[in-house]
Amino acid sequence: MLKGHQSWVFENRPSIIGRATVVGPFEGQGPLAEDFDIIHGDLRLGQDSWEKAEKALLEEAAKLAIENAGLTQEQINFFVGGDLMNQIISTSFAARTLMIPYIGIFGACSTSMESLAVAANLVDSRSAKFALSSACSHNATAEKQFRYPTEYGSQKPPTAQFTVTGAGASVVAQEGQGPRVTSATIGRVIDMGISDPFNMGAAMAPAAVDTIQAHFRDFQIEPGHYDLIVTGDLSKVGYEIACDLFDKHKVPMHQTEYKDCGMMIYDYGKQKVQAGASGCGCSAVVTYGHLLNRMRNREFNRILVVATGALLSPISYQQGESIPCIAHAVSIESEAVKS
Amino acid sequence: MANSKKKKLTPVQQEYQELAKTKEPARPVLKNCIRAFVSGGTICLIGQAVQEMFIHWAGFSEKEASNPTVAVMILISVILTSLGVYDRIAQWAGAGTAVPVTGFANSMASAAIEHRGEGLVLGVGGKMFEIAGPVIVFGVVAAFFVGLLHFIFNPGAVGGS
């Protein structure tokens, strides 16, 4: 149901009854390795192209999430998902395998929460019994499409981010055990004129701040309502800018803990990732793996996940266009919390 | 160019860009220069060693030895690219690995490997010059203008005489 100007409140409190995360070898060496369901040792997953490897990642995550929910593919009404590839081929091709009625979406790296918001809305409005939401990305496919060939020797600036190889999927249901999806705020596209594709954190930070402020305005709450607020993949540069913007706009973020998924998945000391992580898979695997595990352990009761996306294409930045960005927020509560 | 770009931005965007600039970690230019000097020099030293080997052990003249030397350097670069090592060296070395002939070989080999899946003709053949192509195009253009200047100011020397 609409709340305020751009938010949905899910009054029936749909639950995430199954979730799964599948990652590549590099993520498996990071500090969150324990929280992932499957860690692949081979970046190609035994496939003959990077694109097929990304599709395979998503298929595994989707199947495992359905299995963890105690369901079969036939019971899922809708599959909502997207990725970074042109024409979202990874997700569409996985949907071909899964044979679940499919809603393909694109929100760049904000897809993880966009898909969860749409899936939760479908379930909450009784348009679906079970909906599967997903997001995936692969380091090599993203490098190939947006930057240079993976083996090309180019030096990355310190603002660059490393695309996560990973897929996260969740099954949202009308009832059942699991964390509850309680509300979502759909973001506006914000463009502050940043045009450097190697500095996406700075491009996306204003979108994250805009959506978070809109969320507080629509629900008339303050940051202290949440035990944790995380942004998707701003990484070091964007995170610092976001903190500055919160100060400037007088948003009392000190009431809560504010983190960024892009700064959690890799070990800056050991893994050379410049500013941090990015990609659809980043916020998806950190949320569905790490954060919901911590929620299950009662470390948090309420979290707000704000996935951020840079809506550029390889053509748009070559033509000198700036990078439009978006962020979508979804609040997840532990089932112990009563509305 | 920079000014005309700035004019299109709203005041809020300009203010934000100034803020973003202060948060942007600077590229370590001096460190990069030193690394490029060391790594580029090392590659050239290896090249020189290979050339000396051809001269002393294979009986080539200095001029004849340069072609097989370049071939060996290209081969080494392509092997390192295929093994997935070259890009790691390049992140450390920067321009040091990009400027010598090894960088050119890496740009072609990496593109060829990357697009192998799209087929031999459209993939490997079509995309191989994805990065190296501009170097060739503008290299030829530059050579044309240098040749033109040479013809104007030093006409007697044209024709290799």
Distance CA A228, CA A128 (A): 29
Residue type, A90: S
For chain A, the residues whose C-beta falls within 8 A of a C-beta of chain B are 48-51, 144, 148-159, 191-194, 199, 202, 205-206, 236-237, 240-241, 244-245, 272, 275
How close B15 comes to chain A (CA, Å)?
A: 9
Q: Which residues contact A258 (CB under 8 A, 6 or more apart)?
A: A223, A228, A229, A230, A231, A243, A246
Q: Out of A151, A237, A240, whose CB is closest to B87?
A: A151
Rounded to 10 degrees, what is the CA torsion of B14, B18, B19, B25? 140
Residue type, A173: A
DSSP structure string for A65-83:
HHHHTT--GGG--EEEEEE
Contact A295, A286 (CB under 8 A): no
Q: What is the pLDDT of residue A221?
A: 97
Instruction: Provide the token pair at A197.
Output: 């594709």
Provide the residue count of chain A.
339
Is any Cβ of chain A less than 8 angstroms from the Cβ of B43?
A: no
Q: What is the mean pLDDT of residues A307-335?
A: 94
Of chain A, the percentage scoring pLDDT greater than 90 comes to 94
How close A202 comes to chain B (CA, Å)?
A: 6
Q: What is the pLDDT of residues B86-118, one digit of tens each?
A: 999 999 999 999 877 899 999 999 999 999 989
Distance CA A121, CA A40 (A): 33
Q: What is the pLDDT of residue A337?
A: 78
Q: Tell me, what DSSP letter sits at residue A288?
A: I
Q: Which residues contact B87 (CB under 8 A, 6 or more apart)?
A: A150, A151, A152, A153, A154, B81, B106, B110
Is any Cβ of chain A less than 8 angstroms from the Cβ of B114?
A: yes
Count of alpha carbons within 13 angstroms of residue A289, beta-carbon side:
28
Q: Which residues contact B27 (CB under 8 A, 6 or more apart)?
A: A157, A158
How close A306 comes to chain B (CA, Å)?
A: 20
| Contact between chains at A206 and B117 (C-beta distance less than 8 A) | no
Q: Out of A193, A241, A272, whose CB is closest to B19?
A: A241
Contact A290, A252 (CB under 8 A): no
The tens place of each residue's pLDDT in chain B, 161 residues long, gives 344 455 578 999 999 999 999 999 888 999 999 999 999 999 999 999 999 999 999 999 999 999 999 999 999 999 999 999 999 999 999 999 987 789 999 999 999 999 998 999 999 999 999 999 998 999 999 999 999 999 899 877 655 54
| Contact between chains at B24 and A151 (C-beta distance less than 8 A) | no
Q: What is the pLDDT of residue A207?
A: 97
Task: State which H helix or E strand residue A230 sits in.
Answer: strand A228-231
Q: Out of A48, A148, A206, whose CB is closest to B131?
A: A148
| Contact between chains at A152 and B28 (C-beta distance less than 8 A) | no
Residue A138: pLDDT above 90? yes
Q: Which residues contact A95 (CB under 8 A, 6 or more apart)?
A: A79, A81, A102, A104
Q: What is the pLDDT of residue B158?
A: 58
Q: Give helix then strand counts, H and E, for chain A.
A: 10, 15
Q: What is the mean pLDDT of residues A133-148?
A: 94
Residue A225: pLDDT above 70? yes
Task: State which H helix or E strand residue A305 sits in.
Answer: strand A302-310
Q: Tell me, what DSSP letter sits at residue A187?
A: P
**Distances, alpha carbon A176 to alpha carbons A17, A19, A100, A110, A230, in Å:** 6, 13, 21, 26, 25
| Contact between chains at B86 and A151 (C-beta distance less than 8 A) | yes
Is any Cβ of chain A less than 8 angstroms from the Cβ of B89?
A: yes
Rounded to 10 degrees, what is the CA torsion of A95, A100, A106, A111? -100
Instruction: Provide the token pair at B160.
Output: 């290799």
Q: What is the pLDDT of residue A339?
A: 59
Kindly list the residues from chain B whose CB atom is less than 8 angstroms away from the CB atom of residue A244: 19, 23
How close A257 comes to chain B (CA, Å)?
A: 21
Full-model pTM: 0.92
Is any Cβ of chain A less than 8 angstroms from the Cβ of B86?
A: yes
Distance CA B84, CA B128 (A): 17
A298: region left, alpha or beta (phi > 0 left; psi from -120 to 50 alpha): left
What is the residue-averaged pLDDT of chain A?
95
| Contact between chains at A151 and B110 (C-beta distance less than 8 A) | yes
Q: What is the pLDDT of residue A12?
A: 95
Predicted ipTM > 0.85:
no
Distance CA A315, CA A280 (A): 20
| Contact between chains at B87 and A156 (C-beta distance less than 8 A) | no
Distance CA A134, CA B91 (A): 33
| Contact between chains at A51 and B93 (C-beta distance less than 8 A) | no
Q: Out of B12, B27, B106, whose CB is closest to A157?
A: B27
Q: What is the pLDDT of residues A46-86, one digit of tens each?
A: 999 999 999 999 999 999 999 999 999 999 999 999 999 99
Cα B14–Cα B17–Cα B18 angle in degrees, nearest 5: 90
- State which residue of chain B sits closest to A275, comparing Cα positions: B25
- State which residue of chain A sits closest to B132, comparing Cα positions: A152
What stretches of A77-197 adopt beta strand conformation (E)? 78-83, 102-104, 130-137, 161-163, 166-173, 180-185
Please say whether the dihedral angle defined by the alpha carbons of residues B105, B106, B111 and B114, taken in this order, is positive or negative.
positive
Q: Which residues contact B156 (CB under 8 A, 6 or more apart)?
A: none
Count contacts between A and B (CB, < 8 Å): 99
